[in-house]
Chain A
Amino acid sequence: MKDMSEGYVTADGRQIGGVLMEMKNITLRFGGVVAIKDISFDIRDGEIRAIIGPNGAGKSSMLNVISGFYVPTEGEVWFKGVRRGPMKPYQVARLGVARTFQNIALFDGMTVLDNIMTGRLTRMKAGLLSQALWYGAAEREEIAHREKVERIIDFLEIQNIRKTPVGRLPYGLKKRVELARALAAEPKLLLLDEPMAGMNVEEKEDMSRFILDLNDEFGTTIVLIEHDMGVVMDLSDRVVVMDYGRKIGDGPPEEVRNNQDVIDAYLGVAHD
């Protein structure tokens, strides 16, 4: 493979930068279960990186390691050229990593607007006194962040449900609100765990468009877990393939698709 230390140019002509995050020999165990077995790969600045694999392969676990929710049993995580020590999830969030969940994790009792505003919590600095009086810094800050959030609301076309409690929304819209909340953090690295699961074709097309647009417009680096191979082929620049906790393939989508190990894993040849 060509040397990629300075980045590379994608099939559609986008310039991808250097390494943003590097996973080195990651192993993750839950008691006796080995969810991830000695996996290494990198994520480059500005790319859309897919992680695919059969059910239970360890994809979500890998995302949890990246987001800092799980601390790997062995191995190192490097972010922006610095080795990341054990951190609390909220500390990782402050480094510019945001995510959505396989099973939607929104705040059901709050409105869509408030849910998205929570994405900006790490940036809000007004003191308790100012907040208590709703005066000065607190009010200015609230309005400034509201403006940012409104742009995301426009971008994801959810203007008409702003004030609706999230618990009342249908599934597809919840997924979209969850993406909006992650985007509100203006993350450097965005982790999406099956953002299109359970959606119909039309909703999938919308979601794909949003993902491409935000990568294009804001330069957000995206790690995406997805089962729909069509979507993966369309969206991603490079793909990691996992099976039973191991990495069995890594490369551009068309290369991975023709990899014999990957075909076997998907057809179940190797294990039955």
Chain B
Amino acid sequence: MLYREAGDFKTTYREDNQTFPIRFDRIAYYTTVAAAFAVVPFFINDYWANAVFVPFLIYAIAALGLNILTGYAGQVSLGTGGFMAVGAYACYKLMTAFPEMSMVLNVLLAGLVTAGVGVLFGLPSLRIKGFYLAVATLAAQFFLVWLFNKVPWFYNNSASGQITAPERTFLGQFVTGAQTSASAKYLFCLAFVFVLALVARNLTRGTTGRKWMAIRDMDIAAEIIGVNPLTTKLSAFAVSSFYIGVAGALFFSVYLGAAEVGESFGIQKSFLILFMVIIGGLGSIFGSFAGAAFLVLLPVLLKNVLVGTLGWPTDLAAHIELMIVGALIIIFLIVEPHGLAQLWRLTKEKLRLWPFPH
């Protein structure tokens, strides 16, 4: 009986505009945030940080970014891996060129660089749509990976062709390099996730978000009511690429420590993040988190059950994981195109009426 909006009257438009209009949701949200910042860091160890929390947080940022572009603005992209690579390499170049610069600034600037590159590759979207745009972004993906492989300047001529993150501290704690503690990695990424999720929420509920969704739902009508398709599509590419660039920078510097572009930011990455967005829910902030959590946790869970408990060989478990993800994508696309977020919404609607469904 807790989950109610009755008796929870909104008396101002400001209250009506809030992110969680239902009190129960609000409390759940504050509790989660408080636990994430104040409880988890004390219990996290290297296994949980590297296997679950840090990848989840970083993928959540990437999924938010792709969701802004595809879910909100309706522009399909298969270039996410390539854009993450831009973020990673920009971060690497900044870290090595300016050793004194704050790591936060490195990551943000890497995001900005990626935003610029994203706008450039977003230009074709003004002429082409849907499938054709997907192919164009796919070309961007391959081009970017090729570029970072081919031009030694990007990896500072290192013999291995890899980029390796130097040690950097933030507020006196190591956040990159071998000495970084699990809790520092986690908190550093969490701070980015927290701020970027708030910003994504704010952008999507206001003017900019409405422009994006108008272009997504019916571009001709959008133009006739006064939406400039050029600036709207490019702003979606810019904001989305910024997020993906930040994710790429964190993925390389905090999570991996060293990266090779084809392996870490190949086409599989593009698909993985697209699947997160589809399974989580297109056009939903919550969905971006749900999708990232789902696809990070699923392999861990399957590995523990299939390999750990049942004693199956690792490669078989890996294949089964692929099959399960593939099947889920198809199921979601057919049965619930709005993903986990929609399932959650429907459950809440039921709950709101429970126990009197009529």
Interface residues of A (CB under 8 A from B): 67, 69, 88-90, 93-94, 98-99, 101, 105-110, 114, 117-119, 121-122, 124, 126, 128, 131-134, 138-139, 141-143, 146-147, 150, 181-182, 185
Contacts and interface: CB of A to CB of B under 8 A. Distances in A.
A116 B214 CA distance: 11
Interface residues of B, number: 29
A121 B226 contact: yes
Q: Which A-B residue pairs are the 8 nearest by beta carbons? A: A93-B226, A105-B221, A107-B217, A122-B226, A134-B202, A124-B207, A132-B199, A146-B13
A138 B206 contact: yes
Given A93-B224, A118-B225, A121-B227, 19 more contacts: A67-B224, A89-B224, A90-B227, A107-B217, A107-B221, A108-B217, A109-B216, A110-B214, A118-B211, A121-B225, A121-B226, A128-B208, A131-B208, A132-B202, A132-B203, A142-B13, A142-B206, A146-B13, A150-B13
A105 B203 CA distance: 24
B16 to A, nearest CB: 8
A69 B228 CA distance: 14
Contact of A99 (B14, B224, B229): B224
Contacts of A185: 225-226
B349 interface: no
Contact of B224 (A90, A117, A133, A150): A90
Contacts of A93: 224-226
A118 B228 contact: no
A146 B210 CA distance: 14
B66 to A, nearest CB: 17
Contacts of B207: 121, 124, 126, 131, 138, 141-142
Given A98-B225, A121-B227, A133-B202, A128 B210 contact: no
Contacts of B208: 128, 131
B65 to A, nearest CB: 14
B221 A128 contact: no
Contacts of A106: 217-218, 221
Contacts of B223: 88-90
Contacts of A107: 213-214, 216-218, 221-222
Contacts of B222: 107, 118
Contacts of B203: 128, 131-132
B17 interface: yes
Chain A interface mostly helix, strand, loop or mixed? helix
Nearest to A133: B202
B235 interface: yes
A128 B224 CA distance: 22
A185 B221 CA distance: 14
B323 interface: no
B240 to A, nearest CB: 13
B211 A121 contact: yes
Interface string B19-46: 0000000000000000000000000000
Interface string B305-325: 000000000000000000000
B220 interface: yes
A110 B228 CA distance: 19
Interface in B61-115: none
Given A105-B218, A114-B213, A142-B17, A128 B226 contact: no
18 contacts: A67-B224, A90-B224, A90-B226, A90-B229, A93-B225, A98-B225, A106-B217, A109-B213, A109-B217, A114-B213, A117-B210, A118-B210, A121-B211, A121-B214, A121-B225, A138-B206, A142-B17, A181-B225
B261 to A, nearest CB: 30
B287 to A, nearest CB: 13
B291 interface: no
B13 A128 contact: no
B136 to A, nearest CB: 23
Interface centre among B213, B224, B235 (most CB of A within 10 A): B224
A134 B211 CA distance: 16
B224 A121 contact: no
